[in-house]
Chains A and B, each alone.
Chain A
Amino acid sequence: MTVTEILFGRLGWDALPFWHMLQNPTFKSVINDLIASGAGLMVVLGALVVVAGVSWLGKWGYLWREWLTSPDHKRIGIMFIVIALVMLARAIVEAVFMRAQQAVGLNGGFLTAEHFGQLFTTHGTIMVFFMGMPFLTGVINYVMPLQIGARDLSFPVLNLVSLGLTAAGAALVMVSLVLEPFSTGGWTGYAPFTELSYNPGAGVDYWIWAVSLSTFSSTLSGINFAVTIYKKRAPGMTLFRMPLFTWTALCTAILMIFGMPPLTVATGLLALDRYLDFHMFTTDLGGNMMNYVNLFWAFGHPEVYILILPAFGVFSEVFATFSGKRLYGYTVLVMATICIAVLSFTVWLHHFFTMGQSANVNAAFGIATMLIGIPTGVKVYDWMLTMYRGRVRMSVPMIYAVGFILLFVLGGMSGVILATPSVDYQVHNSLFLVAHFHNMLIPGVLFGMLAAVNYWFPKAFGFRLEERWGRRAAWLWILGFMLAFFPLYVLGMMGMPRRSVSFTNPAYLPWTVIAGIGALVALAALACLLLQLWVSVRDRDHNRVFAGDPWDGRSLEWATSAPPPEYNFPVIPEIYGRDAFMLEKDGGTPFQAPTQYQDIVMPANSAMGVIIGAAGFAAAFALTWYMWWLVVLSAVVMIGAAIARGFVRTTHYVISADEVRRTHEYWLREVEATTPIRRSQEQSGANRGRAVPPVEGAVQ
């Protein structure tokens, strides 16, 4: 072994994205490597721009103190969402490349099969683990403690560790653009294709470790959320007074606690096969690939509901707020959420109806799958009845919400079709399936999270998002989604397999072209979203809502300033019913000064998240490329940091009652000076974050 081999393992020049093109310049290899190198260049440039920007502004100290080491759940939530948005941008660009390839894919196209395989693998992996999961984790992180009247999560430092692990996984996927290749095994990484004998390169290893980092992060987040909701609710906030978003957060947290470990086992055993010559899922010596499939989907199906439930929660808040009504059928919605959470563990087999079970087993799982449609249907009716006879304001979150209802029901229908095993035999592994799950996840998760951003952004940053670009983005997402995925239903019925780099049937062509146009529309929607953010930041002084209640909100988070102080509430509120803040407004007693202020104890900053995240990234990168010394070093750092943390005794600091009083009284004076507005003025500059109280005839 040479020194280079010891230091760099199997990492060599051939990992650079343009290496192949230089060695073997053909037309196709040049095209593919130029695309790959461009992507790698974007990563390098992006990182350089961030580093240079922060240095130029001299903000490293600020970034370290106020963000990277801050245990504040609000800051951590925002950082999770930033990761999600960055990864969303990358995965959408990948989607555009895939659609472009299939639009010209009759007998060829411009991408190699290998490149296409990497694209659909990273696209899926990112959208599930590094877009959806961080997005919903971020939103729950931000909103849930405010909704239950808590000052922070139960374990703030653990929260930082969760963030660090997710960031490490996302960084690993990004680095795989510069030092190639990534896996071609799809986001599910089915063995035995992902075993060493068929996939000897670094790609699958990148996938295993990126996903593992994300899994650990989500397990810890789930524990943190569940304990917080069980133990940190304000006095009087009984379970059945919790806002529906918090209920969905609780169910998602429970699913994370029980649903993530099977994935840890699946990827862990796959790693043992690849690294230590085990035979868990290999084709020889007694390995059994069906174990992988079962383990993976024992995670994979609960995962679907981990993703969708928080979005249901967001929509429940949005429908109630923008209809000016209390949520219809609250108890039933809670029951339906719990039903979905429980049923989600009973249907995993429908992901592989065609893989050798008996017809009776298939039938049982098919029926269980269809049962999930019942609580989901109940929810849809509850949302519609919330709007019924409400004064509906078609704000940006509402556009997403209404688009969601219409499209999600369609997707649900195709889900019931797929749940029938005999039909599934016909359309499985075709684009029909791809159309179905995108039909659930885009209107569900993505619209839900974008609605959440539009809804809670003013709370987090103190100014409203610009509406015009927001509307454009929302409509383009809806249109882009329909153009991109409805043709895939047709293509699936025509028999086009999913994940095809090219095809020979000319009848597919018009549909793949329409889908390609749809992808471009979705790209335009992303551009509108970014423009919306840009314009909003530019015009922020015009849209300030410091008083904190821009939408005439109902739940507790709107009873604080925007942005809320670090400790959320100067005194922990007493809760007397559902829609706590609306009750106060109804009673004419919002914005009260407490009789007495007390010192507030808050968690102190900690570098644990950064240390564990950095060491986790190093360990994963080193494992991927066989740099064993770095693996050992990172493990020592992680264990050492955990032990050292046990010796830290100053884990909290105190904010004096006096400071709390000053901050609160300043805010109360500002609220007093803010002119309350009616809902008709909601989208104008007159909206400074205070609503006309109901007692003054606020029928808007």
Chain B
Amino acid sequence: MSRTITRHPGLNLGPAHDDDATDVREELVFGFWVFMMSDLIIFGMLFATYVTMLGATAGGPTPHDVLDIRPAFTETMLLLASSFTFGMASLALKYRQGRRHLVGWLLVTLVLGLAFVGHELHEFVSMFHAGYVPSRSGYLSSFFSLVPLHGLHVTFASLWLIAILFQIAVYGIDSQVKNGLLRLAILWHFLDIVWIGIFSLVYLGGAA
């Protein structure tokens, strides 16, 4: 075959991994990018809606009252670290550093991801205790329609990661596992970027 490498956007696994799946892989990864674009529109719409609702506090708590930058900063660090470890997992996959390396980095990523979700849930619970509930005002509604949706995404991404870990346990690092990891990596980094948006616009904006 004259075709040596695939040129889809994202991590190309290259010829060493050519297990008769290059065309399929290119389409899958490209398709997933397109799906991410579509998902990004959802977040974009919610960001825009959030901005229009900043003043809609209905005499209730303002963004300044509601938002605490400290837990959000911790969450940011957890998520950024998880993106780094996922990157290490991708490199372990690309350079065939063996199953132990790959699974190890994936497990660290999973723990960080779940820690993020847990920390965020804890933040929401304390907001609820303080009376900052979505039914209080339009502003709080828009906060709770945007930020938890990101958390929900991270939850599903973690679920996907667990499923792939089980696939590795059953089938080893076969072609489909690789395809799954390539796409999950895109989702994971995408959620990182969305979180940067949330942290900048919602939390830093609220602290200002």
Contacts and interface: CB of A to CB of B under 8 A. Distances in A.
Interface in A218-276: 219, 222-224, 226-227, 230-232, 257-258, 260-262, 264-265, 268-269, 272-273, 276
Most buried by A among B26, B45, B56, B176: B45
Contacts of A285: 58, 60, 135-138
Interface in B17-62: 26-27, 30-31, 34-35, 37-39, 41-42, 45-46, 49, 52-53, 56-58, 60
B102 interface: no
Contact of B34 (A257, A261, A273): A257
Given A219-B38, A646-B164, A646-B180, 14 more contacts: A232-B27, A257-B38, A268-B145, A272-B134, A278-B134, A279-B140, A285-B136, A286-B57, A286-B137, A286-B139, A298-B45, A646-B163, A649-B174, A649-B176
Contacts of A258: 37-38, 41
A231 B49 contact: no
Interface stretch (A30-38, A60-68, A287-295): A287-295
What's the interface size class on A, roughly?
Answer: 35 or more
Nearest to B142: A280
Nearest to B138: A286
Nearest to B56: A286
Contacts, number: 113
**Main secondary structure on A side of the interface with B:** helix
A445 to B, nearest CB: 23
Given A286-B58, A646-B176, A278 B144 contact: yes
B56 A226 contact: no
A647 B167 contact: yes
Most buried by A among B35, B41, B140: B41
A265 B52 CA distance: 15
A374 interface: no
B167 A279 contact: no
Contacts of B49: 265, 269, 280, 291, 295
Contacts of B167: 646-647
A155 interface: yes
Contacts of B139: 286
Contact of A639 (B58, B140, B159): B159
Contacts of A287: 56, 138, 141
A269 B137 CA distance: 14
Interface string A630-663: 0000000001000100110100000000000000
Nearest to B134: A278
25 contacts: A154-B27, A154-B31, A258-B37, A261-B38, A265-B45, A273-B141, A276-B134, A277-B134, A278-B134, A278-B145, A279-B58, A279-B140, A280-B49, A280-B142, A280-B145, A285-B135, A285-B138, A286-B138, A287-B138, A287-B141, A291-B53, A639-B159, A646-B176, A646-B180, A649-B174
Interface string B147-190: 00000000000010001101100110010100010000000000
A260 B56 CA distance: 27
A288 B142 CA distance: 11
B137 A279 contact: yes
B30 A288 contact: no
Interface in A332-362: none
Contact of A227 (B34, B145, B174): B34
Contacts of B45: 261-262, 265, 295, 298
A614 B144 CA distance: 30
B159 to A, nearest CB: 7
Contacts of B53: 280, 286, 288, 291
Nearest to A230: B30
A487 B134 CA distance: 48
Contact of B138 (A224, A265, A280): A280
Nearest to A253: B34
Contacts of A257: 34, 37-38
Contacts of B52: 288, 291
Most buried by A among B35, B138, B164: B138
A273 B39 CA distance: 22
Contacts of A298: 45
Top 4 A-B residue pairs of the complex, sorted by shortest distance between their CB atoms = A286-B138, A286-B56, A261-B41, A278-B141
A305 B55 CA distance: 35
A283 to B, nearest CB: 11
Nearest to B137: A286
A280 B145 CA distance: 9
A665 B179 CA distance: 38
A223 B31 CA distance: 7
A265 B44 CA distance: 10
Contacts of A222: 38
B56 A288 contact: yes
B34 A223 contact: yes
Contacts of A269: 49, 145
A155 to B, nearest CB: 6
A262 B49 CA distance: 11
Nearest to B57: A286
A295 to B, nearest CB: 6
Contacts of B46: 265
Contacts of A261: 38-39, 41-42, 45
A339 to B, nearest CB: 21
B131 to A, nearest CB: 14
A287 B39 CA distance: 25
Contact of B30 (A231, A260, A268, A286): A231
Nearest to A227: B31
A92 B58 CA distance: 45
B208 to A, nearest CB: 21
A277 B134 CA distance: 7
Contacts of B35: 223
A646 B163 CA distance: 8
Nearest to A646: B163
Contacts of A227: 27, 30-31, 34
Nearest to B162: A643
Given A227-B34, A279-B135, A272 B163 contact: no
A285 B137 CA distance: 5
Contacts of A282: 138
Contacts of B144: 278
Contacts of B138: 279-280, 282, 285-288
A639 B158 CA distance: 13
A298 B45 CA distance: 10
Contacts of B163: 643, 646
Most buried by A among B27, B167, B170: B27
Contacts of B60: 285
Contacts of B134: 272, 276-279
A231 B27 contact: yes
Contacts of A643: 159, 163
A258 B45 CA distance: 11
Contacts of A230: 30
